[in-house]
Structure 1
Amino acid sequence: MSKTILVAGTYDTKDEELGYLAGVIRGQGGKVLTMDVSVLGDPSQPTDVSKHQVAEAGGSSIQEAIDSGDENTAMQIMARGSAPKALELYRDGRIDGVIVLGGTMGTDLALDLCAALPVGVPKYVVSTVSFSSLIPPERLPSDVQMILWAGGLYGLNSICKASLSQAAGAVLGAARAVESPKPDRPLIGMTSFGKTVLRYMVDLKPALEERGFEVAVFHATGMGGRAFESLAAEGAFAAVFDFAPQEVSNHMFGGLSAGADRMTNAGRSGTPQLVAPGCYDLIDIVGWQPTPPALADRPTHAHNRLLTSAVLDADERRQVARSICDKLSSATAPVALLLPQHGCNEWDRPGGDLHDAEGLAAFCDEITARCPENVALTKLDCHINDAAFTAQALDVFDDWLADGTVKLK
């Protein structure tokens, strides 16, 4: 159970705090490997990985960082080096988890460092800006943990020690307890919303498992889509069922974005994609905040106190259709686009609260007109939550299994 934690930070300004973290980890029976990512000063004691080694790992030098004369540029040099260096340490079996602390500068670097490590490697960021809107979702690794570093801007005190000691215990405990992903079956990545809105996952998941696959369903509310894209970029999926791409709409119109690269990474990594436009017509906004003026006259659905969805108009739906087609056009593996023509979420049925027949028709027409040549488009005379939709998705997938597009082993 002896685990080694990488403790990283700017040892010229946070030496005492980083030393405290390391002491707690060692006091709980863990081991520590230290990494200095500072530029100007030096730690009180040499670190296991020096700032010079970090800068060199990013193809630069400490002198170049100093000569830049700009702290932002300098810290980006250190971020470029810390990420591959941390990955090297992990691949060499020298670390089992990582903890990084900092303010805005240290957090900016910490996100790059943590993003370089695979899913299942415990990653903890102790930050004065944890959970802040300063941090865009596309910067967050899929399984990072954060804790607010209360009272920790400068120097140790009893308040910040409470945060630091919790984080130190958490990362060591995670390293001891983690069950890293080692799938014994090929993995399918699926996007969805809640079961009251999109229901296909209820039948698709067991059906795909019967065919010998493992299925991971991602909640497409910004962070879920970010995790999905992160894994798709790594080529983690045998295929994807990307049936809830409303984060594309959100990114375009100011909702809960998963980043500009949403709906692109599976295509880039050569992963076969089954795609459908579930909830494409919605902009997801923070329910407890005032409705933005631009959406004030739209039909909305309060999903709960956290999340409200507003409806796109016909012209905006055409824009979404064009964006989806553009993203899929660069895919390097087969893409099948299923287009349910009777609605794409449970609220979007004839008589439903958010149904807009004209808007749905505009979207379907634009998809038909703009669908790229590399995408196999199938129009379906059903709603996305109907059994016919699920059956068609499985038919396509079974054809891919039969012709080797998707491999079971």
Structure 2
Amino acid sequence: MNTPCIAILGTCDTKINELLYVRDRLINTGHVRVKLVDVGRTPSTHPAIDITQPTILAMSASPYKPSAPLDVSLLPRGELVKALSERAAPVIAALAATHELHGLIALGGSGGSALAAGVMRRLPLGFPKLLVSTMAAGDVGPFVGESDVAMLYSVVDIAGLNDILCPILDNAASAIAGMARAYQTRLNAEATASESPNGERKTKRIAITMFGVTTPAVTKARELLARYRCTPYIFHATGAGGRAMEALIEQGFFDGVLDLTTTELADELVGGVLSAGPHRLEAASRAGVPQVVSLGALDMVNFGPRASVPERFVRAGRRLHEHNSSVTLMRTTVAESEILGRIIAEKLMGAGKRAPTAGEKTEVWVPRGGVSVLDKQGQVFWDPDADDALVRALRRGLQEVRDDGHKIRVVEREEDINHPAFVEGMVQSLVQLMKLEPVMHNRSEDEKGAHL
């Protein structure tokens, strides 16, 4: 069908009037098709509901009582939200995957927002998701996570239609309708433009990690990769960025990874604010995706304003640098650097056990001239002893042959990580691992074959 379809997710036992208002606006003003999905504690029998609460509960096995249907009416509020979210998520995801849905809108307070956000975070990036919430004026991190959920503050509680809430719901309906149309158009265009005759994508997707102190390297890498049939996707190494990249690698979205900036590992180890969690730097090896890894910004741990740096570090006289009024950086020590080298080696050696030949698709590039713009001779974080400890531990951990029969190649260069020659080497290695094809322009044959 040419008309996009939008799912409305909500607790019909408590917010049926508000949900029906949005449904009416979507159908009569947005001119889209609608599926109303009930995720309330008490099942509703309203005729406008397209996917009922019992249907949601029947779609997946209960983790609470596998041998019997789950009675959500008896669950505590927190468990209720978790149960309904876990069961609604695969239902909506399946409809989105088959392009039967082109957008999802939800209304909720704290519990409803948590429920809906759990569903939305399971949907692909780029799929329109809009959450009208009483919680949108506060810390939305727990709701959004590393996804692209859009949140709209309801101003008043979603508990009765009035002249404050109704215009907000009007805007929300118009917004999700517009997003759904754009998404459907994009799907149609991608279906015809992005596939080659044999079903393969014409361009390869490459994930690249970046921080402010490795921006020159990433800028150069993008310039070089523009010569090949690939699309780079830059992830800011802020914790959420690393988690998003790892999740997309797990989903099979990427064909290669230029993991130039592994700084999130330092925050995870030391307790900084930009940790990507314990599974950073694992997905590519597990999936057997070609990757070239470096040590970008492992010279630092991130905190907020200077006053937010934990007192134990201040008392220890740790080397601090105010990146700006909101960000304070702390230099990693020799001991921490040694642990980081060991962690990287363990992840690259161990994570690939389930992916045969993953080792031959992985390289580690070591910039002996420094791992960031601050870690160069004469700069505030220059510490050859810490860098040496990092590299020695890394080399020791990678000297064994992996279980897949391959030894990870380690390349040491004298340049710093942002030096053009160092970046050219990393990019050339990834190009070879991925077997990237150069872009052909209307130039002489010699120029067409030239790259890097």
TM-score of the aligned structures, taking structure 1 as reference length? 0.89
RMSD: 2.8
Indicate whether 1:390 and 2:423 are aligned: yes
CA pair 408-52 structure 1, distance change in 2 beyond 3 A: farther
Residues 49 and 275 of structure 1, relative CA distance in 2, 3 Å threshold = same
AA at the equivalent of 1:238: D
Q: Distance in 1 between matches of 2:337 and 2:166?
A: 50
Cα offset, 1:131, TM superposition:
6.7
> What is the aligned length?
404
- Measured against aligned partners, the alpha-carbon deviations of 1:215-272 in whole angstroms (never above 9, x if no partner) come to 1111112232232222111111111001112122223313123333222222222211
Give the distance between the partners of 1:268 and 1:104, measured in 2 at CA: 36
Q: Distance in 2 between matches of 1:249 and 1:136?
A: 22
- Helix, strand or coil for the counterpart of 1:14? helix
Which residue identity does 1:283 align to in structure 2? V
Q: Hey, what's the Cα distance between the residues in 2 that align with 1:168 and 1:213? A: 36
Q: 1:351 aligns with which of 365, 378, 390?
A: 378
**Separation of aligned partners in 2, 1:87 and 1:408:** 36
| Contact kept? 1:198, 1:346, Cα under 8 Å | no
Regions of 4+ moved over 6 Å: 406-409
CA contact (8 A) 1:240 1:271 kept: yes
Distance 1:358 1:165, change over 3 A: farther
Q: 1:155 is matched with which residue?
A: 160
1:256 aligns with 2:274: yes
Partner of 2:151: 146
CA contact (8 A) 1:213 1:408 kept: no
Identity of aligned residues (%): 26
Q: Describe the shift of the 1:247–1:31 C-alpha distance in structure 2 as closer, same or farther (beyond 3 A).
A: same
Worse overlay, 212-221 or 279-288: 279-288
Match of 1:340 in 2: 367
Does the 8 A contact of 1:198 with 1:278 survive in 2? Answer: no
Q: Which letter does structure 1 place at the counterpart of 2:380?
A: D
Stretch moving more, 37-46 or 142-151:
37-46
Partner in structure 1 of residue 23 of structure 2: 22
1:6-405 equivalences under 5 Å are: 6-26=7-27, 27-42=29-44, 44-60=46-62, 63-66=69-72, 69-130=75-136, 132-133=138-139, 135-136=141-142, 140-152=145-157, 154-178=159-183, 179=186, 182=190, 183=194, 184-194=202-212, 197-252=214-269, 253-287=271-305, 290-296=308-314, 297-329=317-349, 330-331=351-352, 332=355, 333=358, 334-371=361-398, 373-374=401-402, 375-401=408-434
Aligned CA distance change for structure 1 residues 42 and 408 (closer, same or farther; 3 Å):
farther
The question of whether the paired residues in 2 share the 8 Å contact of 1:243 and 1:278 is answered with yes
- The one-letter amino acid paired with 1:353 is V
Unaligned runs of 5+ in 1: none
Larger radius of gyration: 2
CA distance in structure 2 between the partners assigned to 1:126 and 1:268 by the alignment: 37
Offset, 1:44: 4.2
Change (3 A) 1:197 1:206: closer
Distance 1:135 1:289, change over 3 A: farther
Which secondary structure does the structure 1 equivalent of 2:426 belong to?
Answer: helix
Deviations 1:354-373 (A, max 9, x none): 22222222212221222264
Q: CA 1:128–1:251 in 2, change beyond 3 Å: closer, same or farther? A: farther
Deviation at 1:314, TM superposition (A): 1.9
Shift of 1:343: 0.9
1:21, CA displacement in angstroms? 2.2
Q: Which moved more, 1:297-306 or 1:310-319?
A: 297-306
TM-score, structure 2 as length reference: 0.81
| 3-state secondary structure, aligned to 1:245 | coil
Post-superposition shift, 1:89?
1.6
Shift of 1:292: 2.7
**Aligned partners of 1:142 and 1:230 also within 8 Å:** no
User: Contact 1:344–1:383 at 8 Å: present in 2 too?
Assistant: yes
Q: Secondary structure at the match of 1:218?
A: strand
Question: 1:324 deviation in Å?
Answer: 2.1
Change (3 A) 1:357 1:265: same
Do the aligned partners of residues 231 and 293 (structure 1) sit closer, same or farther apart at CA in structure 2, a change above 3 Å counting?
same
- Rounded Cα–Cα distance in structure 2 between residues aligned with 1:206 and 1:149: 43
Name the CA shift for 1:264/1:14 in 2 (closer, same or farther; >3 Å). Answer: farther
Q: Distance in 1 between the 2:277 and 2:241 partners?
A: 11
Output one character per residue of 1:276-308: Cα deviation in whole Å (capped at 9) or x when no partner: 110122222233863332343433333334433
Are the equivalent residues in 2 in contact too, given 1:142–1:226 (CA < 8 A)?
A: no
Task: State the 1:87 CA deviation.
Answer: 1.6
Amino acid at match of 1:164: L
Cα separation, 2, equivalents of 1:278 and 1:383 = 10
